[in-house]
Amino acid sequence: MSLLAQIQQITERTYRQSTGVNFENYLIGYSRFRDLSRVAFGAEALSEIARVFFRTVRNRLYLAIYFAEDLIKILEQNDPRRGISEKNITAFIIFIEEINHAVHGALKFLEGRRDIRTEPFIRDLEIQAKVDTYLLLKYFVAYFNATRQLEQMDRLWLKYHVFETQDFSYPDQRIAERYMEAVEIGEKFIRFLESLPPEERPEELSRFRQMDYQAKKNYVAFLP
């Protein structure tokens, strides 16, 4: 199984939902990426390392996923399934987040959320990606520990990379604020989630995923 398929499978299994498609079939190359970027609103201010494109036509959702060759090369040379280190964690985080956007964008569309071009929809995906990326990285890192358990230093290292290393120097202030908010809300929810007994976490995570952007924002604002 490819790394992409594995990430998609884990994400869908976590929420006991399926998109019903294989996202490997929707990968695009650089030429198609440039074509789509020219017509995508606000794309000129985003990174060219990785991107998910959504489009609706006659109540059908179309998507495309792009990863730069340099990012893929890093993951091929340092496969996360053989270990997570400083050599591959940044590339792996980017890779996970884009697949996560595709999964949750598709699931929300299947649930009747068709507002894919709106800022609240995009912010919802960014928040969810921060939460899911951290949790999925925990799964990978724990697997390589002798005890199959996550150590405290592992958590600190992962939180540093997921929540503290992102560069917010975007020319578009709206985009910078979008990513800053996703980090802030995602980190606070993770702190709350990890404070719960393990048996309560899956239900809490599922409940959080069902919330829309404004509900997530309001909910986290009142967490202890």
Q: Which domain covers residue 76, as residue numbers?
A: 3-219
Structure-token match 């604002």, residue found: 221
Within a domain: residue 106? yes
In a domain, 88, yes or no: yes
pLDDT of residue 45: 62
Taking the chain (224 residues) in runs of 10, the rounded mean pLDDT of each run is 95 96 96 88 74 90 96 97 96 98 96 89 97 96 84 94 90 90 98 96 97 96 91
Number of domains observed in the structure of the chain: 1
pLDDT one-digit tens code per residue, 44-78? 667 789 999 999 888 899 999 999 999 999 999 99
pTM (2 d.p.): 0.94
Q: What is the predicted pLDDT for the residue at 96? A: 98
Q: Coil, helix or strand for 65?
A: strand
pLDDT, residue 43, reads 62
Asked if 162 and 32 touch (Cβ cutoff 8 Å), the reply is no
Q: Identify the pLDDT of residue 166.
A: 87
- Cα-Cα-Cα-Cα torsion 45, 210, 212, 64, nearest 10 degrees, comes to 30
In a domain, 224, yes or no: no
pLDDT attached to residue 82: 94
Assigned domain for 71 exists: yes
- Which pLDDT belongs to residue 167? 85
Q: How many CB atoms lie within 10 A of CB 209?
A: 18
Question: Which of 68, 57, 54, 140 minimizes the C-alpha distance to 101?
Answer: 54
pLDDT tens digit sequence for 81-96: 999 999 999 999 999 9
User: What pLDDT does 133 receive?
Assistant: 98
